[in-house]
């Protein structure tokens, strides 16, 4: 059950990360700048990214959003099956080994 909860949290965080990357690019840039040390130790990057890089970031964000939502959906459905008692437990018979 702990693995399923962690899987759900990972999926939700990936979904939020992908959503910010795709639909809120300015806020995502500020967040990633705050998490890195590149501004302190390297030459600062130009404020405006090239349009092709912006498009690539948005497409990557959309893919991360989709994968995170799928991951969270799978985890939530498995948690529901465990809590509702519909989870199937497979046991090996003595002759199968």
Query: pTM value?
Result: 0.71
Query: What whole-number percentage of the chain has pLDDT above 90?
Result: 36
What was the pLDDT predicted at 31?
A: 81
Q: Looking at the 3D structure of the chain, how many domains does it have?
A: 1
Check residues 57 and 93 and name the one with the higher pLDDT: 57
Kindly tell me the number of DSSP H helices and DSSP E strands found in the chain: 4, 0
User: What's the mean per-residue pLDDT of the chain?
Assistant: 82
pLDDT digits over 7-42, tens only?
999 999 999 999 998 898 888 888 877 777 665 666
| Higher-pLDDT residue of 54, 71 | 71
pLDDT of residue 2: 87
Structural domain span for residue 62: 2-96
Query: What pLDDT, on the 0 to 100 scale, is given for residue 89?
Result: 66
The set of residues, in sequence order, having a beta carbon less than 8 Å from that of 20 and lying 6+ positions away, is 27, 28, 31, 61
How far out from the chain centre does Cα 44 lie?
Answer: 28
């Amino acid at each position: 059950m702990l693995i399923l909860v962690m899987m759900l949290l990972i999926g939700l965080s990936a979904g939020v990360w992908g959503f910010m990357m795709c639909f809120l690019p300015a806020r995502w840039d500020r967040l990633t700048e705050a998490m890195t040390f590149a501004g302190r130790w390297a030459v600062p990057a130009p404020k405006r990214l090239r349009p092709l890089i912006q498009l690539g970031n948005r497409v990557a964000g959309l893919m991360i959003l989709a994968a995170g939502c799928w991951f969270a959906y799978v985890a939530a459905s498995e948690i529901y099956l465990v809590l509702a008692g519909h989870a199937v437990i497979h046991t090996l018979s003595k002759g199968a080994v």
